Amino acid sequence: MTTKLFGQRVPRVEDPRLLKGEGRYLDDLGHDALAAAFVRSPHAHARVTGIDVGPALDVEGLVAIFTHEDLEGHPGEPLPLLIPHPALTHGRTPYALARDEVNHVGEAIVMVVATDRYLAEDIAGKIDVTYEELPPVVGIEAARSATALVHDDVPGNVAATLVQEIGDARGMIAEAPHRGSLRLTIERSASMPMEGKGVLARWDPDDRSLLVHTSTQTSTSVRQALAAKLDLPVDRVEVVTPDVGGAFGVKIVHPWPEEVLVPWAAIRLNRPVKWTEDRREHFVSSAHERGQLHEVEFGYDDEGHLRGLAVRFWHDNGAYTPYGLIVPIITSTQLLGPYKPGAYRVEFQSLYTNTVIVTPYRGAGRPQGCFVMERVMDAIARDLGLDRAEVRARNFITPDEMPYDHGLVFQDGRPLIYDSGDFPASLAKLKALVDWDGFEAFRSAAAAEGRTVGIGLACYVEGTGVGPYEGGHIRIETDGSVVVSTGLTSQGQGHQTMLAQIVADELGVPMDRVKVTTGDTRRFKYAVGTFASRTAVMSGSAVALTARAVREKALRIAADALEASVDDLEIADGLVRVKGSPAAAIELGTIAVLSNPLRYAFDEAASRATQFATPADPSKPPVAVGERPGLESTDYYSPPRSTFANGMHAVIVETDPETAEITILRYCVVHDCGTIINPMIVEGQVHGGVAQGVAGALYERMEYDESGQLLNASFMDFLMPYASEVPHIEIDHLETPSPLNPLGVKGAGEAGVIPGSAAIAAAIEDAEGIVISAMPISPSELFTLRQARQQ
């Protein structure tokens, strides 16, 4: 019997290629393509008054210089607003090249195409753009004050206002025995994958077809967007995602200006064109996230039960809103975590600033929401003198309340209904893992040595597996190999391994016979993309359903060939056999041959399926009614609503009494992503998420000055953690299967990052006895808080 692979620590099939330097990332392709570079705005807010290309024209290697004037028709119109929402009354998107106004430093104005990138940058440096500077709007306070406007036609800089309310939150708070309020901020960070964006476009003038490689999280939607933008029939455009060097959300936005311009230029110039984003470009012209200001009011009873929660927050969406309101909607709904808020009211404003756009970064609005809710829990515990874990437990949704309907609308436009989870069990595991109850003894021992330590915890629920759908195609070849494709893309999560595990199990074949392709529209054209921790749920379920259909067909054909009943057959090790009589067996490859009646013998396998090779019933058509040639199938998975994974983190920190340096001594994670397909991969996802959570809590922030210059737009100055900053991570799992999909999975990609700031803030607060209300926090900021307390 083939060993079951689902649930096993199967080594990744992606690895040998990537480890030997044989990966193919975007810039590894198209060595001979023309290179693009861009002149980008040095001002946060300005009118473009002139573009002088004269000095650039005699540089050898120049092929073309393009400005907005060259972009006739659809390419010259604003880029699409990808996710419209009725509340987004003032959505604005940029032009691929700025038309007459720039709204952030880094906005592209001129495209240069040259024979190589060095020369393209030389030429870009010689182009003289003149500007009339306009007052910049930087930061949430400036946006709210609206003394200057980002877009003249957007009053108050307000892109959207959205309110959701369940029950009378303000009334419940007013009547509650205890009340509290908090003002909380989280600063900007960014996905910051090691590989930036990049696009390679090849136009075939004979075939009138466009082949685009792009480092994206959604090749199918880039394809549709390009066809629309470039006025090409969709079937003349194919988009392939090569190996992607990380994404973490930023590459779900599309089409980026360069994703339109590079193919547009390739067609216009009739030459392959490539653009590879450099690190500074990534800082100033891709996307950031996280920046929000929250004002929270809450009421609770003597036992610490939340009676009512009212949250107002202001979300800095940057200069444009191509990705709609997804981030603040997620914040406003996922803020609730595993808790029953009593009555809940949330109102947010999404505000324009003259800074880089804000779109999802791993966690996508959840770290901010989690920070807010967990600060509330800690405030209640502090006020009532209760154990912080106990206050959380008292507010938990309990397993017998699942599925739990919050009465709100989630980011997918569907009801916010938790499908599964056992929060008390998760908390029990976390308390055991970190030795919550033993901490006071540890604190005393540390204090005796003159050391200051603190512990904190934070809980979250993460909507995962967002629809609308994904699909899978599986074909068994005549050599018995299994070819799988799904439309969404991969950025290092090990999808090829995870999906191959599922398919190998379903089909009863060894895993090394299964080859998975993702993100190639030549192979699979209907897909949504990779975001919201959705691949295992969506494509995992889709390929499982597809494999079941292929299996059914294989058994049907084998039953005929073996003159046995389908019910008496089993598949193992790539062989269909009659249960109990192993001699009566047929290889899947042979079934593939039988499934496709042929006239021509183009190879040995084919010769076995030709018209004179096999006895056939002349009264029946070679392909039976209702059947199709080939041992293959396509199926889709479209869930009624999202799954909801959850987890809890506990952190022990030490703070230096002199320098206020913050050191993480232990970082413990309990994680519930439903059934686990590959624990090794899930733990890897958690590790990476926690590292980004620690980064957001202690190190990373985008430092804009008041003129809208990003002061730390390099890896020298933006403090991404090295190995010396990320603690050892201890993990325990709880598996509460989702009832919504055939695998019981819930998604794991983003989980690790969500409660980082909340848990670390709680631990620092516990160590120092100082209320922490802004993250990230640096040693100097903690030092300042200590001084403020002493005054």
Partner 1 sequence: MTEPLHGVQLTVNGIPRELQVPARRLLSDALRHDARLTGTHVGCEHGVCGACTVLVDNVPMRSCLIFAVSVDGAQITTVEGCVGPDGELGPVQQAFRDCHALQCGFCTPGFITTITSFLETSPRPTEQEAREAIGGNLCRCTGYQNIVAAVLRAAEIINDPATGGTGS
Using CB under 8 A as the binding rule, the residues of this chain from 576 to 605 that contact partner 1 are: none
The one among 279, 451, 523, 608 contacting partner 1 by CB under 8 A: 279
Q: How far is the CB of 36 from partner 1 (least distance, A)?
A: 15
Nearer to partner 1, 342 or 727 (CB): 727
- Asked whether position 76 contacts partner 1 by CB under 8 A, the answer is no
> How far apart, in whole angstroms, are the C-alpha atoms of residue 637 and residue 626?
22
**Residue 703 CB, nearest approach to partner 1 (Å):** 16
Q: Does position 3 bind partner 1 by CB under 8 A?
A: no
Question: Is 324 among the residues that bind partner 1 (CB under 8 A)?
Answer: no
CA separation (Å) from 694 to 184, 539, 698? 18, 30, 6
Q: Kindly tell me which residue out of 2, 8, 28, 347 binds partner 1, with binding defined by CB under 8 A.
A: 28
Binding to partner 1 in span 237-256, by CB under 8 A: 243-246, 248
Strand-pair partners of 577 = 570, 585
| Least separation in angstroms between CB 204 and partner 1 | 23
**Residue 15 or 303 having the CB closest to partner 1:** 15
Quote the tokens at residue 536.
């295992």
CB closer to partner 1 out of 603 and 703: 703
Q: Which is nearer to partner 1, 151 or 687 (CB)?
A: 687
Residue in 2, 7, 8, 23 binding partner 1, rule: CB under 8 A = 23
DSSP for 581-602, please give it: EEEEEEEHHHHHHHTS-BS---
> Can you tell me which of 612, 728, 790, 791 binds partner 1, judged by CB under 8 A?
728
Starting at the edge strand found earlier in the chain, the sheet holding 575-578 runs 569-572, 575-578, 581-587
Determine which residue in the list 448, 625, 716, 788 makes contact with partner 1, applying CB under 8 A. 716
Give 259's contacts (C-beta < 8 A, 6+ positions apart).
197, 199, 212, 214, 216, 222, 225, 226
State how far the alpha carbon of 260 is from the alpha carbons of 83, 223, 266, 276, in Å.
18, 10, 10, 14
Q: Work out which of 62, 681, 698, 759 binds partner 1, going by CB under 8 A.
A: 681
Q: Annotate each residue in 742-761 with x if it binds partner 1 (CB under 8 A) or - if it does not, as one string.
A: ----------x---------
Contact between 724 and partner 1 per CB under 8 A: yes
Which of 22, 100 has the CB closer to partner 1? 22
- CA distances (Å), 287 to each of 59, 315, 361, 485, 780, in order? 32, 14, 9, 30, 28
Binds partner 1 (CB under 8 A): choice among 1, 20, 73, 617: 20
- Measured distance CA(114)–CA(112) in Å, rounded: 7
Among 15, 77, 100, 235, interactor with partner 1 by CB under 8 A = 15
| Interacting residues with partner 1 between 186 and 205 (CB under 8 A) | 192-195
Size of the site for partner 1 (CB under 8 A): 54
Return the closest-CA partner of residue 536 out of 422, 460, 645. 645
Q: Which of 5, 6, 27, 539 binds partner 1 (CB under 8 A)?
A: 27
**Residue (22 or 705) nearer to partner 1, CB:** 22
How far apart CA 359 and CA 331 sit, in angstroms, is 13
Largest CA distance in the chain: 99
Q: What is the CA radius of gyration of the chain?
A: 28
Nearer to partner 1, 13 or 260 (CB): 13
Q: CB-wise, 21 or 626, nearer to partner 1? A: 21
Both tokens of residue 584?
Answer: 């009566």
Q: Is 11 in the site for partner 1 (CB under 8 A)?
A: yes
Encoded one letter per residue, x for contact with partner 1 by CB under 8 A and - for no contact, window 90-129 reads: ----------------------------x-----------
Stretch of 25-33, 72-80, 767-775, 782-790 lying at the interface with partner 1 (CB under 8 A): 25-33
Q: Which two tokens stand for residue 182?
A: 């908090």
Quickly list DSSP for 389-431. HHHHHHHBPPGGG-SEEEEEE-TTSSEEEE----HHHHHHHHH
Residue 286 makes contact with partner 1 by CB under 8 A: no
Interface pick for partner 1 out of 219, 221, 452, 491 (rule CB under 8 A): 491
Instruction: Establish if 687 lies at the interface with partner 1 (CB under 8 A).
Output: yes
> Could you give the residue ranges of the DSSP H alpha helices within 231-359?
257-269, 279-285, 326-334
Shortest spacing between CB 433 and partner 1, in angstroms:
16
**Residue selected from 5, 6, 12, 466 as contacting partner 1 according to rule CB under 8 A:** 12
* CA dist 785 → 217, 451, 697 (Å): 41, 19, 16
Separation in Å, CA 233 to CA 202, 238, 526: 16, 11, 16
**Shortest Cβ 253–partner 1 spacing (Å):** 18
The distance of closest approach from Cβ of residue 9 to partner 1 in the complex, given in angstroms and rounded to an integer, is 8
Per-residue contact string for residues 449-488; x = within reach of partner 1 by CB under 8 A: ----------------------------------------
Q: Please state the length of the chain.
A: 791
Rounded-to-integer distance, Cα 639 and Cα 16, Å: 35
Return the H-helix or E-strand segment holding 726. Answer: none
d(CA 629, CA 64) in angstroms, rounded, equals: 50
Stretch 127-166 residues interacting with partner 1 (CB under 8 A): none
Please give the backbone phi and psi of residue 705, each rounded to the nearest 5 degrees, phi first. -90, 180
The letter for the amino acid at 471 is G
Q: Does 303 bind partner 1 (CB under 8 A)?
A: no
For residue 49, count CB atoms less than 10 angstroms from its CB and return exposed for 0-12, middle for 13-18, buried for 19 or more.
exposed
Residue 262 CA to residue 624 CA, distance in Å, equals 48
Choice from 691, 763, 767, 782 touching partner 1 (CB under 8 A): 691
Using the minimum distance from each CB to partner 1, give the nearer residue, 55 or 657: 55
Contact between 555 and 476 (Cβ < 8 Å): no
What are the start-end ranges of the E strands in 319-369?
A: 343-352
- CB 574 to partner 1: min, Å: 20
Binding of partner 1 by 48 (CB under 8 A)? no
- Under rule CB under 8 A, residue 620 binds partner 1: no
| Residues ≥6 apart with Cβ < 8 Å to 83 | 323, 324, 325, 326
The helix/strand count (H/E) of the chain reads as 19, 29
**Got the DSSP string for 168-235?**
-HHHHHHHSSEEEEEEEEE--B----SS--EEEEEEETTTTEEEEEE--S-HHHHHHHHHHHHT--GG
Contacts with 759 (C-beta within 8 Å, 6 or more apart), sequence order: 374, 456, 457, 458, 649, 650, 651, 693
Residue with tokens 């039976």: 624
Q: Per-residue contact track with partner 1, 495 to 534, x per CB under 8 A?
A: ----------------------------------------
CB 321 within 8 A of CB 360: no
Nearer to partner 1, 612 or 722 (CB): 722
Stretch that binds partner 1, among 198-206, 386-394, 450-458, 717-725 (CB under 8 A): 717-725
Bridge partners of residue 666, in order along the sequence: 652
Shorter beta-carbon distance to partner 1: residue 101 or 289 = 289
Determine which residue in the list 1, 583, 625, 723 makes contact with partner 1, applying CB under 8 A: 723
Nearer to partner 1, 141 or 512 (CB): 512
Shortest separation between residue 684's beta carbon and partner 1, angstroms: 5
Return the number of the residue (104 or 251) whose C-beta is nearest partner 1.
Answer: 251
Among 2, 7, 18, 386, binds partner 1 (CB under 8 A): 18
Note the residues at the interface with partner 1 (CB under 8 A).
11-12, 14-16, 18-25, 27-28, 31, 60, 118, 192-195, 243-246, 248, 278-279, 491-494, 680-681, 683-684, 687-692, 714-716, 720, 722-724, 726, 728-729, 752
